[in-house]
Amino acid sequence: MSDTPNPENTTPRIARRQAIRLIAAAAAAPVLWSAARADSPGSAGAAGTLTDPDLVNPVVPWELQLTEVERGQLRVLCDLIIPADDRSPAASAIGAQDFIDEWVSAPYDTMDGDLEKVRKGLAWLDAESARRFDAPFVELDETQHAAICDDICHPPAARPEHVEAAWFFDRVRMLTAMAFYTTREGMADIQYVGNVPLPRWDPPPDAALRHVGLK
């Protein structure tokens, strides 16, 4: 969770936010997201189908499964993964928790098992928060959140009793990155300029073309 260098580790480290950007760039999975800016979660009316979605006026054609309490836990967790900075808002501000709810509720093989994994993980967070700090996860302060998340933020390094929770955290981190970096705010944060009209396009410079043998 911390970006502070470890003096005992000589391996170069990158900032957590930069690492999240790399995770998002590597996540080559299909994304169906219309709930990110919904004012109230829930199943929507038919405007397209599972096999023929209406991408102009998108809706969620399946019932969302997470409770308000679970969504609240995800909201806090998403913001721990991608907090606000001077370039972009926190993950929850663009609806990452809504995306995760839609994802785990979807009737596709790709998401098979994610609902159970997320629900068990959120229940573990509350149980661990109560055990350590006698309070639910959403009521902990930043230091307490970090104390728990530092134990589950890297599955290969997790203690045996934390392995399952670590894979839950890993999945939520990936989904949070997918949610955030497929929004206008997220693309602006990484300065992605694709899929927008440009007044002109300048080809690569001669030096670059010569380097790859094209000139």
DSSP code string of 118-177: HHHHHHHHHHHHHHHHSS-GGG--HHHHHHHHTTTS-GGGS-GGGHHHHHHHHHHHHHHH
- pLDDT of 53 reads 66
Number of independent structural domains in the chain: 1
Average pLDDT in the 103-120 region? 90
Task: Please indicate, yes or no, if residue 198 is contained in any of the structural domains.
Answer: no
Task: Please indicate, yes or no, if residue 215 is contained in any of the structural domains.
Answer: no
Greater pLDDT, 57 or 148: 148
Task: Please indicate, yes or no, if residue 29 is contained in any of the structural domains.
Answer: yes
pLDDT band at 112 (very low <50, low <70, confident <90, very high): confident
pLDDT over threshold 90, residue 32: no
Largest CA distance in the chain: 67
Domain holding 66, by residue range, is: 16-193
Long-range (24+ apart) CB contacts under 8 A made by 84-87 are 85/17, 87/188, 87/189
Closest C-alpha among 144, 143, 165 to residue 154: 165
Of the listed ranges 50-59, 128-137, 166-175, the least confidently predicted one is: 50-59
Rounded Cα–Cα distance for residues 76 and 142 (Å): 10
Coil vs helix vs strand at 48: strand
